Amino acid sequence: MNLSELKLTPRRKEICERLGLYDSDAILSYYPFRYELNEKTPFSEFRIGSQVCFVGELASYPSTFRKGKFSSTKFKVLYDDEILNVTIFNRPWIRNLQMNEVMTIVGRYDGNNKITASNYYLKDISGQIIPIYPLKEGISQNDIRKIISFTYEKCEKELIDMLPADLKEKHQLIDYKTAVCQIHNPDNKQILSKALSRLKYDEFLRFYTALDALKDENQLQLKQAKEFDDRKVQSFIDSFSFTLTEDQNTAVDEIIKDLHSSKIMYRLVQGEVGSGKTAVAMIALYANFLAGYQGALMAPTEILARQHYESLKKQLEPFGVRVCVLYSAMDEEKKIKQMITDNEFDVIVGTHALFSQDVDYCKLGLVIADEQHRFGVRQRQALRNKGEFSDFILMSATPIPRTLASSLYGDMDVSSIASLPAGRKGCKTYLIRKNSVVDIMPEIFKKLDEGRQIYVIAAAIDKSDNYKAKDVSGLYKALKERLKPYEVALLHGKLDTDEKQAIMEAFNRNEIQVLISTTVVEVGVNVPNATMMIIYDADRFGLSQLHQLRGRVQRSQEEGTCYLLTDSNDENVIKRLDILCKSNDGFEISFEDLKIRGPGDILGTRQSGLPTFVLGNLIEDTRFIEAARQDVKMMKEHLDDESYKAYRDYVVNLSTENIIG
């Protein structure tokens, strides 16, 4: 049912729209991200820093203090003959409570009878399991619970269980309707565990069924095999000023074989930052050119597109390949588009503008998308429509182990480039437990005095009360004075394209020695003379993103240096950041990041062709994954069974794009 059919109140409808919930399926699969098991804690067992739950009576009228958008409310509660001083943030409506009102408080004990509450309930809910949902400002947990409860009541009779009965029996799974009910309103821990098992298995089974259907579709599509002289490709490779690594050679061999095949290529090339994926892309584009086709290379930003254009032009034009660059709002955009249609360019480099509606290719045979995680199923479909069954190469600098890659990118073949080119010395990383450069100023000036350049990275553009982190604008003002006589510049995403490009070009020419920037430099910017990076508030970044950032300072034969700054005292944060100090292996780091954060955060699930698992975890739920994969294989071999065929048809009709990404 859509929102109109559900007949929600205007307030509830507005909440659903703000959360991106446009039908009953989306509402019922808006799962809690955690649960509170509210077992009463006797006061005698309160320990400083521990989570506690207690039921008491309000012993003072609440007082609320405001600062900007934030508020804190303080009140006293009588519990176990003790007066407890409770503080709760951003719940200003609590000031309307009445004296002696019974309430359940859940929170942290800070010692000296002080409690920092995370939640409260105006009744005794001890012993109950309370679901906690992700929220946005102005939406309460109670709002979400009421919407989900209302939706379940309206749709209960329409919740059809499509899972074949023998699979439910095989894995001892509860029925779908019960699972949905209990995930949102669990009676006890045992039934909650069963609900989680059922819904996790469902996610993986749907995903692998959709993936299998997509593979079948891909295999049905054949192209004309590309004919070209492999010896000319080798001559092109020999023109490089470096020797390809063994991993690069393997990736090239796999791509050449795919190009010669009548099967459409869907290949992921994943590799370390600086591992030489661009060289592999150049070779593929040249082979495609020899076969008489146009090739397109799409980059995620205009800066990187122009950088690719310069390097491809330098390497390919001596071999007769005509190269151009295309991005939105460029001066000659209309002229370039017409020349592409007239086959006056062989390789076209650009941003998403390459596949806008008014770009018509003459004979597009190969598409390469740099930074795969920004490029999903919908974009792939747009590319497919531009060429006659074009081959696809998707490149990612966030490498993951091959076994996980087969789960995440199951419809693609995978080439992994793990080794760095000869002469690259990598990067030494140091953790500074202070969000300040005061202790490393001597190292900074030493590096600058040697003629080297430095990146300084911050998470925010401007100072914000809502986002307690160092901002590039403030750092620029402070460091510009402290680092005289060296030239300091500011770079962030709010600058227009020409400004950003001018700053990067000046940095590349060493006219700027210190670049203070947001993560806009994360992807592909290549300045070999920059050998130091300082990252403020490192705890706010994922491990894979930090590894990608520090890759900017390992582009030369000099060893790079990266300083991770944080004032966090959370030992889990310190342990996580310490992984980067101990390892330069991108595969290992991304695996650790997957364990901590999941694929959505690391690889940009919402923009990509990756599975949007809500409950499932690719690291922890291997038994569900293996069971689902085996069951998909078994069902495919027995499609004469009506229940198996009905389930597969049901998944395909849901749309593989919705399930896979």
**Residue with token string 């070009």:** 505
CA distance 75 to 86: 5
Percent of the chain's residues with pLDDT above 70: 89
| Residue 25 included in any domain | no
Task: State the Cα angle at 191 between 185 and 193, rounded to 5°.
Answer: 100
| Residue 172 included in any domain | no
Q: Is the pLDDT of residue 378 over 90?
A: no
Q: Render the burial of 367-384: b for 16+ CB within 10 Å, e for the rest.
A: bbbbbbbbbbbebbeebb
* Same domain, residue pair 373 and 455: no
Phi, psi torsion values for 601, nearest 5 degrees: -70, -40
| Residue 13 included in any domain | no
Question: Which segments within 566-659 are labelled E, that is strand?
Answer: none
Looking at per-residue pLDDT, the higher value among 645 and 589 belongs to: 645
Contact 149, 185 (CB under 8 A): yes
* Same domain, residue pair 264 and 403: yes
Q: Which helix (H) or strand (E) holds 79?
A: strand 70-79
* Same domain, residue pair 272 and 377: yes
CA distance 562 to 547: 10
Nearest partner of 31 among 148, 157, 152, judged by Cα: 148
- The pLDDT score that the predictor gives to residue 128 is 83
CA distance 556 to 558: 5
**Domain ends where: 384, 417, 450?**
417
* Same domain, residue pair 560 and 486: yes
| Residue 118 included in any domain | yes
- The pLDDT score that the predictor gives to residue 563 is 96
Percent of the chain's residues with pLDDT above 90: 47
User: Could you tell me if residue 360 is left (phi over 0), alpha (psi between -120 and 50 degrees) or otherwise beta?
Assistant: beta
* Same domain, residue pair 440 and 557: yes
pTM of the full predicted structure? 0.65
Q: Is the pLDDT of residue 524 over 60?
A: no
Q: How confident is the model at residue 525 (pLDDT cuts 50, 70, 90)?
A: low
**Domain ends where: 417, 452, 478?**
417
* Same domain, residue pair 375 and 514: no
Q: Render the burial of 593-611: b for 16+ CB within 10 Å, e for the rest.
A: bbeeebbeebbbbeebbbb
| Residue 180 included in any domain | no
* Same domain, residue pair 452 and 546: yes
CA distance 581 to 589: 11
| Orientation of helix 246-260 relative to helix 230-238, angle to 10° | 150
Q: How confident is the model at residue 597 (pLDDT cuts 50, 70, 90)?
A: low
CA distance 631 to 643: 13
- We report the CATH number of the domain holding residue 382 as 3.40.50.300
User: Could you tell me if residue 41 is left (phi over 0), alpha (psi between -120 and 50 degrees) or otherwise beta?
Assistant: beta
Least confident range of 13-22, 86-95, 400-409, 600-609: 600-609
Nearest partner of 1 among 198, 156, 203, 142, judged by Cα: 156
Q: Is 101 helix (H, G, I), strand (E, B) or coil?
A: coil
**For range 551-569, the mean pLDDT:** 86
Residue 308, amino acid: H
| Residue 91 included in any domain | yes
pLDDT single digits (tens) 168-215: 999 999 999 999 999 999 998 899 999 999 999 999 999 888 888 877
Task: State the Cα angle at 58 between 53 and 63, rounded to 5°.
Answer: 105
Radius of gyration in angstroms for the set of CA atoms belonging to the chain, rounded to a whole number: 28
**Domain range for residue 98?**
39-127
| Residue 609 included in any domain | no
- The pLDDT score that the predictor gives to residue 626 is 87
**Domain ends where: 385, 417, 449?**
417
Q: Is the pLDDT of residue 146 over 90?
A: yes
Which DSSP string do the residues of 139-181 spell out, in sequence order?
Answer: --HHHHHHHHHHHHHHHGGG----S-HHHHHHHTPPPHHHHHH
* Same domain, residue pair 432 and 348: no
Q: Is the pLDDT of residue 377 over 60?
A: no
| Residue 502 included in any domain | yes
Q: Which helix (H) or strand (E) holds 72?
A: strand 70-79
- We report the CATH number of the domain holding residue 56 as 2.40.50.140
Least confident range of 32-41, 114-123, 391-400: 391-400
- The pLDDT score that the predictor gives to residue 386 is 72
Q: How many domains does the chain have?
A: 3
* Same domain, residue pair 516 and 560: yes
CA distance 507 to 566: 27
* Same domain, residue pair 246 and 368: yes
Q: Which helix (H) or strand (E) holds 548?
A: helix 543-550
- The pLDDT score that the predictor gives to residue 231 is 96
- The pLDDT score that the predictor gives to residue 501 is 80
* Same domain, residue pair 376 and 434: no
CA distance 437 to 459: 16
* Same domain, residue pair 341 and 431: no
